[in-house]
């Protein structure tokens, strides 16, 4: 994990250096000096509502395998997001899988399966909203066709998960001696967690989880609006939706801690299609990222301290 952090910090330094060269800080700092903290606070609160919705989604997905109270689910979900903000490459997903397994006595593979299914709902909601954005907003140039293609690809990837899971379940249920190759045995082991998760997912659970996904990502648009308002930057609604979808896309696999630098580049490039200047876009994007990351890190640290205190209390009781 230390190697991941070091690699992420080096990448972040390189990206930020390039960003500073292209967009000098003197052009961006005036927006921060006149920022309205109340808008930023509102953006942070809306983001935590979005996090709560996603935690509730995870609770629904995990319920068929293990019942868990929402406070615990919210705490571990937020802790995972906080770890993702520090360590690149989604290390937080492993963290919340481990926490679920350790806290609720769930098997490690079952815990991983709930996280995999939970992430697949992000792909579904992303694809649906991209498709809606392509239909509802007038997109410049060839962006409309590209956006539609991206939506179809996202939905196709999400739709392939249950098919892959069924394949994994088929392999899992076969005796080891029936496999004709080592490759198939290895494939069965890799796909089994996904198979476990989808085998427990009912249509009713899916119908309850999907609206939570859609509402959560819609709230991200509101966070972006409040963040832009905090630094006095006006972004057309259609452009803001596309920018939010762009940063969600690049955040799927963070390359730097909290995706610093990469987040701003995606935000600026998506708004540049609408003719927006780079300096205000960087300012709004940075505040937007701060509203997404800072409250999660604060709550995640509080969750970590709570778990540590509860662990000490349990040791003292024994």
Residue, of 81 and 170, whose pLDDT is higher: 81
pTM, whole model, 2 decimals?
A: 0.80
Residue, of 39 and 313, whose pLDDT is higher: 39
- Asked whether the beta carbons of 257 and 8 are under 8 A apart, the reply is yes
Read off the pLDDT band of 6 (50, 70, 90).
Answer: low
Maximum average pLDDT range among 133-147, 185-199, 249-263: 249-263
Residue 156 has a CB neighbour count (10 Å cut-off) of 11
- On the question of pLDDT at 243 being above 60, the answer is yes
Q: Which residues contact 268 (CB under 8 A, 6 or more apart)?
A: 23, 278, 281, 282, 285
- Looking at every residue in the chain, the average pLDDT score rounds to 77
Q: Is the dihedral of CA 36, 262, 12, 297 positive or negative?
A: positive
- On the question of pLDDT at 38 being above 90, the answer is yes
DSSP letter (8 states) at residue 88 = T
266-303 burial by CB neighbour count: b if 16+ within 10 A, else e?
bbbebbeebebebbbbbbbbbbbbbbbbbbbbebbeeb
User: Which pLDDT does position 294 carry in this prediction?
Assistant: 93
Look at 55-59, 71-75, 108-112 and tell me which has the smallest mean pLDDT. Answer: 108-112
Read off the pLDDT band of 115 (50, 70, 90).
Answer: confident
Residue 111 has a CB neighbour count (10 Å cut-off) of 26
Look at 40-54, 152-166, 202-216 and tell me which has the smallest mean pLDDT. Answer: 152-166
- On the question of pLDDT at 260 being above 60, the answer is yes
Look at 89-103, 168-182, 242-256, 299-313 and tell me which has the smallest mean pLDDT. Answer: 168-182
pLDDT digits (tens, 9 = 90+) for 146-166: 566 666 666 666 666 666 656
Look at 48-52, 221-225, 266-270 and tell me which has the smallest mean pLDDT. Answer: 266-270
Query: Average pLDDT of 67-93?
Result: 81
Q: Which residues contact 204 (CB under 8 A, 6 or more apart)?
A: none
Q: Strand, coil or helix: what is 232?
A: coil
User: Which pLDDT does position 160 carry in this prediction?
Assistant: 65
Read off the pLDDT band of 20 (50, 70, 90).
Answer: low
Query: Average pLDDT of 163-173?
Result: 58
- Asked whether the beta carbons of 117 and 197 are under 8 A apart, the reply is yes
- Asked whether the beta carbons of 235 and 284 are under 8 A apart, the reply is yes
- On the question of pLDDT at 32 being above 70, the answer is yes
User: Which pLDDT does position 50 carry in this prediction?
Assistant: 95
User: Which pLDDT does position 151 carry in this prediction?
Assistant: 61
Residue, of 149 and 297, whose pLDDT is higher: 297
pLDDT digits (tens, 9 = 90+) for 65-77: 677 788 888 988 9
Structure tokens at 242: 């596309």
- Asked whether the beta carbons of 80 and 96 are under 8 A apart, the reply is yes
DSSP 276-299: --HHHHHHHHHHHHHHHHHHHHHH
User: Which pLDDT does position 107 carry in this prediction?
Assistant: 73
Q: Is the dihedral of CA 141, 143, 148, 153 positive or negative?
A: positive
């Amino acid at each position: 994990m230390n190697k991941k952090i070091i690699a992420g910090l080096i990448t972040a330094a390189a990206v930020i250096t390039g960003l500073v060269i292209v967009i000098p800080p003197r052009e961006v700092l005036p927006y921060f000096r006149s920022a309205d903290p109340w808008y930023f606070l509102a953006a942070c609160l809306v983001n935590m509502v979005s996090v709560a919705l996603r935690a509730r989604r995870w609770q629904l997905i995990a319920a068929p395998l293990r019942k868990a109270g929402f406070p615990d689910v919210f705490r571990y979900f937020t802790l995972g997001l906080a770890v993702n903000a520090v360590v690149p490459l989604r290390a937080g997903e492993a963290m919340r899988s481990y926490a679920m397994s350790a806290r609720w006595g769930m098997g490690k593979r079952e815990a991983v399966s709930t996280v995999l299914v939970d992430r697949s709902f992000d792909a579904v909601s992303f694809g649906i909203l991209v498709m809606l954005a392509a239909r509802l907003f007038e997109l410049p140039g060839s962006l409309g066709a590209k956006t539609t293609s991206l939506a179809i690809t996202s939905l196709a990837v999400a739709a392939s998960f249950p098919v892959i899971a069924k394949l994994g379940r088929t392999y899992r249920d076969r005796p080891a001696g029936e496999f004709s190759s080592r490759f198939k045995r290895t494939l069965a082991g890799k796909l089994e967690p996904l198979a476990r998760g989808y085998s427990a997912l009912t249509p009713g659970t899916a119908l309850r989880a999907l609206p939570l996904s859609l509402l959560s990502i819609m709230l991200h648009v509101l966070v972006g609006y409040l963040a832009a308002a905090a630094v006095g930057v006006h972004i057309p609604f259609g452009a803001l939706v596309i920018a939010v979808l762009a940063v969600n896309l690049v955040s799927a696999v963070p390359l730097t801690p909290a995706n610093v630098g990469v987040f701003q580049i995606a935000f600026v490039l998506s708004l540049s299609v609408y003719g927006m200047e780079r300096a205000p876009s960087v300012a709004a994007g940075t505040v937007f990222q701060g509203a997404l990351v800072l409250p999660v890190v604060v709550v995640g640290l509080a969750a970590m301290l709570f778990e540590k205190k509860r662990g000490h209390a349990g040791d003292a009781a024994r």
